[in-house]
Copies of this chain bind each other. A is one copy, B any other.
Amino acid sequence: MNTNNSSDRVTQHLRALAAGAPPGTRLPSVRELMRELRVSPVTVQQALERLRREGVLEARPGQGTFVAEIPAPAAAPADMAWQSIALGPGRAVADGLAALTALAPSRAHLLNIGYLPEDLQATALLGTAAARALRRPGVWGRMPLEGLAELRAWFAEATGGAYAAHEVTICPGTQPANAAAFRALAAAGDAVLVESPTYSGAIAAAQMAGLRVIPVPTDAEGVRPDLLEEAFRRSGARLFYCQPNCANPTGTVLSAARRPEVLDVVVRAGAFLIEDDWAHEFYFDGPQPPLLASAARDGHVVYVRSLTKCASPGLRIGAVCARGAALERLRMARLVDDFFVPGIMQETALQLVTAPAWPRHLRALRTSLRERRDLLAQAVRSRLGTESLPNVPPGGLHLWVQLPRGVSDLEVVRAAARRDVLVSAGRHWFPAEPPGTYLRLSFAAVEADWVGEAVQVLAEAIAASGA
């Protein structure tokens, strides 16, 4: 649950307390907990009740609440050593993904989040949309595999006509869309090309599909077409995963000059390009360049987009667009993975994006994000030096900060975390050896009253690591 909610905070506190104490330990009284945690008796009771239901705590009438006894195992402890043989070597999946998706403690300064913080989420709009969705007949029934027709039509229109509604398949977010694309458009052992660095969730999904993930270097104009061509030639890859606008993590926009070159390389290679348009609603410095998909001939571009990032993490709705045999392969992969996306999620998404307040939400969101980007960029340049941030992205959620030679990104991340400043180590966005050391800083949750102090913590951690 939401970690900023006081009941959840208390639950977390008590769970940690229970985990650290032997079974049978008596908990402080409700009154003591109220005082210590500065919350209402209702909040304490809710948290206690929840942990009692989970079996973490047990109530003994008249005596209080105790850390529950762990039931004794049936006989000898389980011997699971055989699993090592059965499971064999693990798939090498970047460990950055777990770090990326871990829930953070609520007090920290969050410069590591990949979603909107609560104050920017469309929570109220979602509540209204879901309530309307619940009144739609058949919302708990079966859905067509490809998704609700009206929602598909909306996504098709949102591509500016690059795709028709029948080429759209609704997915529960971008991650399942990318995972399905990697499985459907390539086979285990095949190569897939990716920009380097690129989104760690995509790297992990490609690795999990058994693909060889081959990095193609990028510069300030995006992926280098000459190296992309060379990579296709050497690897025999038929698939290139790409974020042409405000790439995660660098914020790079593929330049206008390179766009036709990149498409030409892809067409000559007889390959697919997955265009992950993750930041479409966050392009706040002027209009976003046209989609690659809109210039693609003959079904070479598979286009992925989601509503999760611009609404709330819990609205896991996105779409993947493709044509030709690729569309059929993608649908089969999605069918086997999931059957269909629940009607209540699809109807809620549809009600949300067709609500009159939705464009206002997006405008306000862009304004806030631009302000926060400027605050963070200014703090970074003034405290870490302008050379640390050569590129201020025109949108997205992140700054990509270059560290001085000899500084370890992991050391900086750990040192800053000890002082409640959470940032992400750049190495998680590279499928192979990084050419330098970087931090990814999210500006989504930035506030004026702590950003300077937080970046100062980073500056000190960098100085300590380099020393």
Residue interface mask A181-223, B partner, CB < 8 A = 1:
0010101110000000000010011001010000000000000
Please determine whether A336 and B93 come into contact, CB atoms closer than 8 angstroms.
yes
Q: Which residue of B lies closest to A296 (CB)?
A: B78
Which residue in B137, B312, B337, B345 is a CB contact (below 8 Å) of A5?
A: B137
Asked if A257 is an interface residue, CB under 8 A from chain B, the answer is no
Which residue in B71, B142, B271 is a CB contact (below 8 Å) of A103?
A: B142
Total interface residues in chain A, CB < 8 Å: 105
Q: Could you tell me which A residues sit within 8 Å of B by CB distance? A: 1-5, 7-8, 50, 53-55, 71, 78-80, 82-88, 90-91, 93, 97-98, 101, 103, 115, 118, 121, 123, 126-127, 130-131, 134, 136-145, 148-150, 152-153, 161, 164-165, 172-173, 175-176, 179, 183, 185, 187-189, 201, 204-205, 208, 210, 238-239, 270-272, 297-300, 311-316, 323-326, 329, 332-333, 335-345, 348
Please determine whether A208 and B333 come into contact, CB atoms closer than 8 angstroms.
yes
Please give, as numbers and ranges, the residues of chain B lying within 8 Å of A80 by CB-CB distance.
298-299, 323-325
Could you tell me the distance between the alpha carbons of A223 and B176 in the complex, rounded to whole angstroms? 34
> Measured between C-beta atoms, what is the minimum distance from A198 to chain B in Å?
15
Please give, as numbers and ranges, the residues of chain B lying within 8 Å of A238 by CB-CB distance.
85-87
Please give, as numbers and ranges, the residues of chain B lying within 8 Å of A205 by CB-CB distance.
336-337
Could you tell me the distance between the alpha carbons of A149 and B7 in the complex, rounded to whole angstroms? 14
Which residue in B134, B164, B340 is a CB contact (below 8 Å) of A55?
A: B164
Please determine whether B175 and A140 come into contact, CB atoms closer than 8 angstroms.
no
Pick 5 A–B contacts, CB within 8 A, sort by A: A1-B136, A5-B138, A55-B164, A188-B210, A345-B345
Which residue in B1, B98, B315 is a CB contact (below 8 Å) of A138?
A: B1
> Measured between C-beta atoms, what is the minimum distance from A72 to chain B in Å?
12
Which residue in B185, B311, B315, B339 is a CB contact (below 8 Å) of A316?
A: B339
Please determine whether A179 and B336 come into contact, CB atoms closer than 8 angstroms.
yes
Could you tell me the distance between the alpha carbons of A448 and B3 in the complex, rounded to whole angstroms? 53
Please determine whether A121 and B140 come into contact, CB atoms closer than 8 angstroms.
yes
Q: Which residue of B lies closest to A115 (CB)?
A: B142
Which residue in B85, B297, B337 is a CB contact (below 8 Å) of A78?
A: B297
Could you tell me the distance between the alpha carbons of A189 and B187 in the complex, rounded to whole angstroms? 11
Q: With A204-B336, A336-B179 as known contacts, state yes or no: A1 contacts B143, CB within 8 Å.
A: yes
> Measured between C-beta atoms, what is the minimum distance from A78 to chain B in Å?
5
Could you tell me the distance between the alpha carbons of A88 and B188 in the complex, rounded to whole angstroms? 12
